[in-house]
């Protein structure tokens, strides 16, 4: 392996199947492209099918032999999550990689999913919690399979002091765009580690890992609108990781043969909070390692999604 981890370190993925949420753009697209170019069949699980099909064509131009499939999936709707899981379970013999990448970031005003959840918590965490649970049998059917949860340095920035507002997870009493986003990204890490603990306890060989891209130049800032969106995009382009480099963290979490369950990858820096660079093992906050909080969030997530894991 070279001094820093790059796409050249991705092992051959021939015969493997990867399902990637939000794969029509940004980090998810770069993951799908890289895996396809290394031989994997990739499933672009996306809300906008037309954009997904355009992304699939771009990947096919770069990897003409690749098999690329578009799967409709709206993570802000549990009905859509269940429908997508049913279709994937019926059409795929196994799932080697599930990369829970899609997300929304900091809408200025509180929005809700069709199920009444705060948009960021509902999409970034609950939708992925439900999808993973519904697909777990297919993931377990593959040798060397992994679930990758994409978190953020924001998991440390603005969430409540308790980590998760267990008494008001939907931010109905008050709403902070930054804190609600931070809560959803902390939830991604708590989930990844709680899943890892449960998989190990069950004797499952499936790995649950996590990653963060630093801060990357993607379309994630589209919720900002107006000047905020322009500043985010221009700042990202000038100062931060490109989408291709930012995506390396979750790619490494997905395919590095030396990765272990519960590990967290991101750019180098103190306390795992670096904005840019190639992926290394990253640190995270004390709250993200709190097993009691992991279990409380797990119980809440099962109640809200009505998805119970078969572990």
DSSP symbol at 132: H
Query: What's the CA gap between 108 and 97, in Å, rounded?
Result: 33
Cβ within 8 Å of residue 277, ≥6 positions away: 214, 241, 245, 267, 268, 269
Catalytic residue numbers read 181
Exposed / middle / buried, residue 183 (Cβ in 10 Å: 0-12, 13-18, 19+): buried
Rounded to 5, what percent of the chain is helix, strand, coil?
Answer: 45, 15, 40
CA angle 298, 300, 301 (to 5 degrees): 65
Coil, helix or strand at residue 45: strand
């Amino acid at each position: 392996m070279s001094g820093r981890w790059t796409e050249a370190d991705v092992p051959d993925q021939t015969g493997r199947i990867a399902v990637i949420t939000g794969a029509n753009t940004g980090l998810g697209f770069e993951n799908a492209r890289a895996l396809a170019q290394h031989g994997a069949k990739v499933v672009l699980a996306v809300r906008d099918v037309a954009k997904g099909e355009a992304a699939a064509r771009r990947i096919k131009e770069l990897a003409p032999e690749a098999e690329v499939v578009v799967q409709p999936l709206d993570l802000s709707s549990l009905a859509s999550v269940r429908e997508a899981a049913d279709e994937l379970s019926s059409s795929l013999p196994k799932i080697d990689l599930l990369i829970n990448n899609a997300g929304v970031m900091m809408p200025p005003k509180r929005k809700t999913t069709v199920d009444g959840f705060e948009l960021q918590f509902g999409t970034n965490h609950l939708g992925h919690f439900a999808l993973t649970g519904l697909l777990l049998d297919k993931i377990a059917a593959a040798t060397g399979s992994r679930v990758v949860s994409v978190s953020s340095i924001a998991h440390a920035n603005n969430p409540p002091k308790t980590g998760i507002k267990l008494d008001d997870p939907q931010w109905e009493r008050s709403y902070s765009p930054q804190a609600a986003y931070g809560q959803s990204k902390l939830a991604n890490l708590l989930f990844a580690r709680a899943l890892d603990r449960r998989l190990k306890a069950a004797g499952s060989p499936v790995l649950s890992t996590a990653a963060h891209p630093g801060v990357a130049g993607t379309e994630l800032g589209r919720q900002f609108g107006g000047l905020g969106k322009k500043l985010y995009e221009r700042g990202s382009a000038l100062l931060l990781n490109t989408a291709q480099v930012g995506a390396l963290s979750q790619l490494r979490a997905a395919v590095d043969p030396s990765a272990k369950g519960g590990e967290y990858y991101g750019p180098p820096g103190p306390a795992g909070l670096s904005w840019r660079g190639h992926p290394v093992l990253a640190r995270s906050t004390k709250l993200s390692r709190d097993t009691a909080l992991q279990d409380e969030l797990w119980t809440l997530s099962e109640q809200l999604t009505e998805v119970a894991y078969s572990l």
